[in-house]
Structure 1
Amino acid sequence: MPSPTSTDQQQEQQEVLSIVNRYYRRERISNVLMAVAVASLYLGVYSLTSLLPAAATAALLVVVARAPILQSRGRFRLKTDDSQETIVDAFTGPKPPVLAFLWGLADEVTSNGNTVKYKTYYLFGLRSVEMVVQRQTETTPDGNKRITLDVTANGKPWATYTSILHEQPDHTAIDVEYTSNRRFDLRDLPKQLLARRYRDATLEAQGYTVETRESHFGL
C-alpha cells in the first residue's frame, strides 16, 4: 500500500492534470474563435470592397499577428506550511509546482541530475516540442534558499523562474519572479489572459496559497 504522503501527492497531481487539461481545452476554443474573427473581418472587407483590398487586409493581419512584440514577466508570493527542505525537493524535482503547465501536458518526463526534460507530441505524433529545465539551488547571504529554473524550448531560451524561500514563525513564504526569454506575438494574447485564471488554481491544488501576484504581458 502506498504511504499517505504518496497518496496525497498522487491526488494533488491528478487535480493539477485536471486543471491543466481544462485550460488547454479552453485555449483551443479561443484559438478557433480568433480564427473565426479574422475570417469574418476578411469576409466583411471583401463584401464591402473587392478581392484585392480584402487580400491586402488579410496579409496585414497575418504580419501584425505574427510580429514578436510582446513579453511576459511577473512576480508572486506563495505561502505554505511545508518546511524549506520539502519545498526545495518539490521545486527541484521532476515536476516543479510553478511549471505545472509544462509537465501537466508532457507525454514524456525524464530527469537526470540537474536537468529535467518534458516532451510533448502533437499533430498525431508528427511533431514534438522538448522543454528542458536546468535547476540550480544556492544559499543567499542572509541564509535563505534560492532556486533558479532556466527553461528552453527545442534548444531556444524560453523562461527563467527564480524562487527565494523565507522561513516565517508559522509558515514558509516563497517569492517567485519569472521572465520570458522570448517574445510573443498577438496570437498568444488570448492564451496569456486565459492562463491567469488557471495558474493560481494549479498552485493551490499543490498546497500553496497565492498571497500576491503582479504580472505583465505587453511591450
Structure 2
Amino acid sequence: MTDFGFREVSPEEKTQLVGRVFSSVADRYDLMNDLMSVGIHRLWKRHFVAGCALRPGQAVLDLAGGTGDIADLVRRRVQPGGKVLVADINRAMLEAGRRRMDDRGRVGGFEWLQVNAESLPFADRSFDHLTIAFGLRNVTDKTAALAEMHRVLKPGGQVHILEFSHVAPEPVAKAYDLWSFQVLPRLGALVAGDRDSYQYLAESIRRFPNQEALAGQLQEAGFERVRYENLSAGIAAIHRGART
C-alpha cells in the first residue's frame, strides 16, 4: 500500500487517482498556484533555476514539467545549442503547457513527452541536468523514480528538486496548516471547481518526507554532494545532488 494524501491505497490506485487530480486541474493549475502561494512560487522557481549552474549547449530533462514554467526558464539558459525535454505522465498537463508556450510564441527549444518518472525511456547518461518542481511527491514509487533520475544523468550531471516541505517554526507551521486545510480546498472549489483535488494536494505535502529524509533518499539512490536549502521557512525546499 502507499499514500494518497491521508488515505492508504494500492500503488495502481494512487497512479490513477493522481492522474485524475491533474487532469481535473490542468487548465487552472497556474492560476491556482498563484493564489495558493500568493505568487511566491514564481520567485521560488526563478531562484531554483538560477542555482542550477546551467550552461549553453546542455541537455536538460524537466520531469513533471506540467505547464512549462521551469522549462521556459531553463531554455533561456541552455541556448544556443541546448535542448529541454519537458516530460510529464499527465497528457492534460502537457497539452496545457504546450498551449501556453505556443501562445507566447515560444515554440522552439522544447520537446514534450508523456513519460512515467518511474521508468524513463532514455538511455543511460543522457542528460546534464534533471529538474523536477512540485512533482516528486505525486510519484507513486519515489525510490524507483530517484534511481531512474540517477541512471539518465551523465557523470557530473546534477539533479535539482523543488518541492513543498516541512515548516519548522511552530507559529508559521500552525498558520500554514490553517491556510492549507481551510483556505486551499475552498479556493479549489471556487476557482477550479474541484475541492477534493486541492484537499489531496494539501495532504500530500504533509505525507512527503521532510528535508533530511529526502536528502537521505537521494544519497541512497547514489547521488553525492547532496544538499538542501529551505525557502520561506521550509514551506518549500530545494534539494540538489550530483552523479559522479
Q: Which has the higher strand share?
A: 1
TM-score normalised according to structure 1 size: 0.29
Tell me which structure has the larger Cα radius of gyration. Answer: 1
Larger RCO: Structure 1 or Structure 2 (Cα < 8 Å, ≥ 6 residues apart)? 1
